[in-house]
Structure 1
Amino acid sequence: MTVKDSPTARAQRRRQTEERILSSARRAFAQRGFERATIRAIAAEAEVDPALVIQYFGSKQELFQRSVQLGSVPPLSGDVDELVEAVLARIGMKIGSLPQATLAMMRSMLTHPEAADQARATLDGQVAQLGSAIEAEDADLRAALMVSTMLGVTIAHQLLDLTALRGASPQKIAELLRPGLRAVAGVDPQ
């Protein structure tokens, strides 16, 4: 057995091919969404046969699931004032260069049930974190409105490319959102 054909070399080539396919899939899902991305196009970009994509991932759905696995976001904690500031501090991340997996999820969540389920679970987790710090009878509703506001800003910037948002700094956006988010959270808007 040559070094080229050793089990370690084959495993490494397999991992590299799998990562090439996943990178191509992330780009395709981010640009076109789940419905319009095709296995054939993903395979062509990854320079592999479409059958190999199915061999590695089983189906387009499984490829999508692996492609959009997101890294963990640090949990929000603190009192309401700190939480509002933590939410606002994430604006730079939301209007900066988002990972392809995040863009793929966002583009697909309105047309693909599994993407919607995954997005909902992530957002529900954020709502629960915020809601636990808000001292109001309708804390979860207030938290959901805060999360929805941030989601709207992210979608308007990342997917719709609204002109006014394109040129705005994260600091300016945070400055303008701060009073509204504080009011929704039940804190004096100052």
Structure 2
Amino acid sequence: MSVEGNSRSGRRPGRSGTREAILDAARVRFAEVGFDRASIRSIATAASVDPALVHHYFGTKQELFTAALEIPIDPDVILARIAAAPLEELGETIIRTVVSVWDSPIGVQAVAAFRTLLSSADPALARAFLLEIVLKDVRVRVDSPPGTGTKRAVLAASQLAGLLVTRKIVPMEPIASMPVEELAAAVGPNIQRYLTGDLT
């Protein structure tokens, strides 16, 4: 094979550093245009690699996004449980599911990842993760009356953020040590109102 054939497009071979180059390009691209509009091809172009290498290292775009944010759990694990919940039980299900992750063996890593994400100099990645991954399906389910889905989802997210701070980041009793089921019963109805109740 000719030298020209070996360096046809100037793309990186699959060597050490390629994975990091893809992650760096992905973070920039996701921050610029959001999850939905960032394509694997555009990320590959920015990283000077073939799109097939992106799939080789990371699989799907969502898996790439999760890796770029260094979140130690597949969001699908959380999303599947929430998606299976009846609409009228979303509030308690979200609390039960999310807090169980925080309290699990990977909870320290997960909380650290979210703390880093939320304190990032560029909040676009945090917005993209929350609105385009975590809350996307919920936003669609609670869009009643039409046009209120995003507002409802963001209000629910604000409640979760406060709960994260008072349970894990700046622990405050009794929230810090409250059993998950008790917490779900206490806070779940508030989130449920944001999601399906009257907002006026």
TM interval, shorter chain, is 0.5 to 0.7
Residue 34 of structure 1 is matched in structure 2 by none
Instruction: Check the 8 A contact 2:81/2:97 in 1, yes or no.
Output: no
- 1:2-81 matches, cutoff 5 A: 65=68, 67-68=70-71, 70-71=73-74, 76-81=83-88
Note closer, same or farther for the CA distance 1:65–1:168 as it changes in structure 2 (3 Å cut).
Answer: same
Note closer, same or farther for the CA distance 1:67–1:180 as it changes in structure 2 (3 Å cut).
Answer: closer
Residue 145 of structure 2 is matched in structure 1 by 136
Distance 1:158 1:150 in 2: 12
Note closer, same or farther for the CA distance 1:115–1:104 as it changes in structure 2 (3 Å cut).
Answer: farther
The answer on 1:171 being equivalent to 2:178 is no
Q: Matched residue of 1:163: which SS?
A: coil
The answer on 1:153 being equivalent to 2:160 is no
Instruction: Check the 8 A contact 1:95/1:170 in 2, yes or no.
Output: no
1:90 is displaced (CA, Å) by: 1.3
1:88 to 77, 86, 95: 95
The answer on 1:121 being equivalent to 2:121 is no
Amino acid at match of 1:99: G
Distance 2:123 2:116 in 1: 6
Instruction: Point out the more displaced range, 98-107 or 166-175.
Output: 98-107
* Cα displacement string for residues 126-151 of structure 1 (whole angstroms, at most 9, x for unaligned residues): 22211211122312211221122122
* Cα displacement string for residues 135-176 of structure 1 (whole angstroms, at most 9, x for unaligned residues): 223122112211221222122211111132123111221111
Q: Matched residue of 1:162: which SS?
A: coil
Instruction: Check the 8 A contact 2:140/2:149 in 1, yes or no.
Output: yes
Amino acid at match of 1:180: N
TM normalised by structure 2 equals 0.51
Q: Point out where structure 1 has 5 or more consecutive residues left out of the alignment.
A: 1-53
Amino acid at match of 1:125: I
Q: Matched residue of 2:83: which SS?
A: coil
Distance 2:69 2:125 in 1: 15
The CA RMSD measured in Å over matched residues stands at: 3.7
Distance 2:113 2:124 in 1: 8
1:68 is displaced (CA, Å) by: 3.7
| Percent identity for Structure 1 against Structure 2 | 13
Instruction: Point out the more displaced range, 69-78 or 127-136.
Output: 69-78
Note closer, same or farther for the CA distance 1:162–1:78 as it changes in structure 2 (3 Å cut).
Answer: closer
Distance 1:111 1:85 in 2: 27
Amino acid at match of 1:84: G
Instruction: Check the 8 A contact 1:108/1:115 in 2, yes or no.
Output: no
1:122 is displaced (CA, Å) by: 4.0
TM normalised by structure 1 equals 0.53
1:77 is displaced (CA, Å) by: 4.2
Distance 1:141 1:81 in 2: 18
Note closer, same or farther for the CA distance 1:153–1:120 as it changes in structure 2 (3 Å cut).
Answer: farther
Distance 1:184 1:75 in 2: 16
